[in-house]
Amino acid sequence: MTKPIESVSDNNDDLNVWLPYTTVSGRIFRQNYVSDITVRIDENVSSEVAEQGIISLLTMRHGIVDFFTINTDTIRKSIEKTSETMTLLISAIAFISLLVGGIGVMNIMLVSVTERTKEIGIRIAVGARQMDIMRQFLIEAVLVCFCGGALGIGLAYFVGVVFIYTGSNFQMIYSSTSIIAAFACSTLIGILFGYLPARNAAKLNPIDALSRD
């Protein structure tokens, strides 16, 4: 039966020595036993069932339990659970940030409507429809959020460049999908939170709007 062999080479790769692993273990390391065994199981097999089967087999062979097992699948599940918790936490922070930003955009647009009441009245008086006024302020709200999204993406790129030039091992990865999603999200925030100010502007009475100071 052919046994696996080990390769020993120097740093310059000028010398290669091929030895049976049993020779290396017994004569070089003075070790005539197996220190550890790595078992890879099929994806369709439960890791807990496989672990119990291995424990039963080794206990039967050894007669005593003189070993311990480490189930990396348990570690993987713990990491996945932690990652899910972190994802949920980051999502909650992002949602609160978007909500606060949206409320800020809505306040800005409400102030804009208040300050431009006469302009709105003049436009309505010369024939502008409610849909035209609403479209105008919705576009302005979307542009405000769009500029905010562009600034955020630019800041992310700047931070990535800083990490590169500082020689840090941390590297930021950018994807076109995330950039498109960021712009789409900012546009949606502008539409949702700009609707109320745009609606208030569209429903202004031209007589009342022109008579305001």
0.75 cut: is pTM over it?
A: no
Q: What mean pLDDT comes out for the span 88-105?
A: 90
pLDDT of residue 152: 86
Q: Is the dihedral of CA 123, 128, 129, 132 positive or negative?
A: negative
CB of 138 within 8 A of CB of 200? no
| 144 vs 149: CA distance, rounded Å | 9
Domain coordinates in residue numbering, the chain: 1-35, 77-211
What residues contact residue 191 under an 8 Å CB cut-off, 6+ apart? 138, 141, 142
Query: Residue range 172-179: average pLDDT?
Result: 84
Q: What is the pLDDT of residues 11-59, one digit of tens each?
A: 556 678 888 877 888 788 877 777 778 888 887 888 888 888 888 988 8
Q: What is the mean pLDDT of residues 135-163?
A: 88
Average pLDDT over residues 148-163: 87
* Angle at the Cα of 18 from the Cα atoms of 16 and 24, rounded to 5 degrees: 120
